[in-house]
Each structure stands twice: as structure tokens, then as C-alpha cells.
Structure 1
């Protein structure tokens, strides 16, 4: 049985008359890379801040590592939410060292280890205000790792990065999860990248969790298919089953049939035309995380 690192029960956060988070339930299991998806204003950052302990819920419950939040919880969580709090006139090492002192950590080798992990040189004296955005994001992750957290929360860690920077962050996340066994909660609007690393997903809309789904379940739902809209779905299916050995399909509104078997559209068109079944539309559909997300949230603009 999987251990729950985060369990959210009926969580709400209200600002005046606005419900930023509205009675959500959420479960993150040990070892997950949990992709948290939602459009701008959906409640992602608010939820992450409540989990991290940066703001307090209006109501509901957050259980962390199997128990209610306590004095030890904060040490087991590392977070990079919004912009990392960096001292612009200090080097990467000095930024790390200041936080380590504040946390009561004395092992300077850990600072070197985490900086090397995110591909920053501990000996480099360059000050942070001269860093690229990617370097700042990587330093933010290194800071979040101080204290050896069991849960790492990353809010849009690849936002604004170039392809090389995105790849570097992706490799760091995979290493932390696979080698260091850190459970990771990550939000991102770059869904193609998220789909490369996430093991489970939560989709939030208007402050409400509309679905939690594993990567395996998503792969099963996001199958390629041939969509055929016809004058009579029943007659068409009878012919397709009998003549083309079609068995893997679903029926939708407006006499749409989605064929998941490996079949050429020309064969379908020829068969149905021969039997006077009108074809109104036929096309191949490749569904991925982005199209699935858009279908669930009902819009083309996401973030």
C-alpha cells in the first residue's frame, strides 16, 4: 500500500468574497512526481502555498507525512514558489550559506553538493544579479533542497527558460526523484515537458479539483484514434466489425465513432460508401496531455 505524503481533505481558501480554493481533495503518494495543472487563477499557487505552510487555509485539512502539520513538518518540505528569494549582491554559495545558517545547518559539503547538482559552481564569485533566469531557478531549487526535504514543491520552475535550461531542470527533477527518492509536487503550464516526468496529475479548475489521474491511466485515455462522423453509427459499426475486424471503438454524440484499431481511413471510407452510409467527417486525432487538459478545462487558453 502506498504511503500518502500529502492528503488534502475538503480544503478551502477564501479572500473576501472570492473562493481561491473550493473544497478540494488531493492525494500525493510517496515517490510521486505529481503534476499540478490549471489555468491562470485556477488556484494552483494558493494550494501550493497552503501545503508549504506559507498561508493558512480558511477551512479543511492538510495531512503531511501521515499526520497533521506540526513543528517538525517544515523541515521535511522544500519549496520554490513564485520567485526564489535571493540576495542579488551575493554569490550562489553565499546565498546558500546564509539560509543554511538560518536553518541551523552546519554541513558546508551539502551546500557544495546541491550547487553541483544544479550545475552551479560553489567557487564562482559571480553575484546573483548577474545570473541568467535559468541560473536563478537552479539556485532556487538548490536552496529548497537544504535540509534534505522529503517533499519538494516547485511552482513553474521552467517558466521563461530556453530549451537547454528546461532540459537541465528536467534532469535535476528526475535525479532527485529517482536517486534521492524525493517526492515532488510541480506545477507547470508547459505541459509537454510535464508529461515527460510526471507520474500522477491533478487538474484544478476554478478552485476545484476536477480529476486526479496516473500517467498510466492518462496514456490509456490519450490514445490515437480515427474519428468518423456518419449518418448511422449502428449500421456503420455493424459493417466495420464484420468486414474490417474492428472491435476497439467508442461511440459519441452526433453519430461519431472513434476507432482505436490500426486501420486505414481509405478502407473505412470505401466500405461505408459502398453501403450508402454518408460520411460527414473523418480524421485522425492524436491526443496528448495538452489536448486532454483543454478538454477537461473547457478552453484553449491555459497556464
Structure 2
């Protein structure tokens, strides 16, 4: 029984981290699903979101505000607005002028944008990490005696992640813009011929992806209480791994891939040590792609003519 409780605790911890990976991974998979390219600046957008949340929290604290809903609401709102603006700008500057040419050129442009964003934050905030206090200390026991516990912050992460993903699902499936996104993902040339402004839809996917990355940034920053200018690279690689695991281009796949990756990391850290959890995650990716090249929910790509 103690061993079962231990594994249950690992599962809960893995799902809480994996749900935030899923939020970031959706940004990769939406962009790839429509234009077939990877936005390698997405991780830095996530990093900027965490810094905006830190500035919002610190600013309100300096002004004497101590209302928790107000502080967290301001952190989410400021982070979403700023990162959405960055997502839109990246599409306009690094992608739109280069679409239609060699597919490697926008990729190089995105990597260059990633370096620019990272160094901009380094210049503005220096290289030292910043601490963010846990806004929801404490938790409760699922099993008597503390064998399995859940923190209030983990519950908050589950709730916010579920709301964000459910909202995105409703948007994609029921709204006019969501249907336009699906049409562009199926055949962007035909969508353009049918009168859909594909440039605006592509920009919208960058904005949505950046907004979801901002939500993940606020949640992870509050969960671990520490940010630095380099966290975007690793988070971006993890989210990209989650997107590929689930099936790049599939939104449900990105969600599932994030959860699988988070659980794999939690169990890998327990078996081999915390320093090897990243190795476990990438070994899982390699093994899965050897047997399922399109990922868990991915579909074989059909060349559109």
C-alpha cells in the first residue's frame, strides 16, 4: 500500500507539470498545423510571460495590494496581453515576409528571434533569477497521514488548465474563427480561395499560442517560485517534445503529449534521480517515434497539390 501511494503521488505531480507543458505545446502544434513550420521563438515568449507576471506581482505588492484574486488576475491579464502582442509581432516580422519561399529560412528567422528575445530580457532584467512567492501555500491529504497530498497550487493548475483547454476546444469547434482555423489547417490555399483571410488566421494562431503560453508561464512561475532568462529554452524544447509525442498538428495530441511527458518525467526522476528526468523524457520521444513516427494521435501527412 505505501508503494501504491508513492506512485499515486508521482502521478499527481506528473500530471500537474504535464498540463502546463500541454498549454505551451498547443502553440507549436497550432502553428505547424496551419503553415507547417515550427515557431522556435515560442519558448522565449513563454519566458517573457513569466517575467511580465513577476513585474505585475511585484508592482502590486509595492503599491500595497494584498488581495490574492486581484494580484493573480493582474498577473494573468498582463502576461496574456504582452505575450499575445509578442506572438503577433513574431508572425509579422519573422514569418509573414518569408512565407512561400524555402522553409528553412523562416526556421532560421525564428531561431534568430528567439536569441533576440532572450538577450533583450537579459539586458532589461540581468541574468540573475527572480523569486516569486507561492500565493497558495499549503494543501490537503488525499490519503490519511500525508501519504498522498495535493497542494492548493496544484489544484489551481488543474482547474486553470482545464478551463483554458476547454475554452480553446469550444473556440475551435464552434466559433466562426475556429472553423476558419480548421479550414486553413486542412488546405490553406483552398481556404484563401473561399474568401478566408488566411494571413489574419495565421496571426490569430500565433496570438492564441502565445496567450496559452502566458497562462502556463504564470502557473509554473507560481508553482516553482523561480524564473530566469534561460528557462524559455528548456520549456520550449519540452513543449515541442510534447507536441511531437502527441502528434504534431493535433491539438488533442498536444494535450495528451504534455500529460504523458509530465508523468514520464516524474517517474523517471524517481527511478533514476532528478538530474536524469530530461534524459528519460527524450528517450521516451525517440522510442515512441521509432514505432509511431506520427506520434500518439498524429495522422500520416498527405501531400496537398
Pairwise same-fold verdict (TM > 0.5): no
Structure showing the higher strand proportion among its residues: 1
Structure showing the higher helix proportion among its residues: 2
Report the TM-score range of the alignment, normalised by the length of the smaller protein.
under 0.3
Structure whose alpha-carbon radius of gyration is higher:
1
TM-score (norm: length of structure 1): 0.24
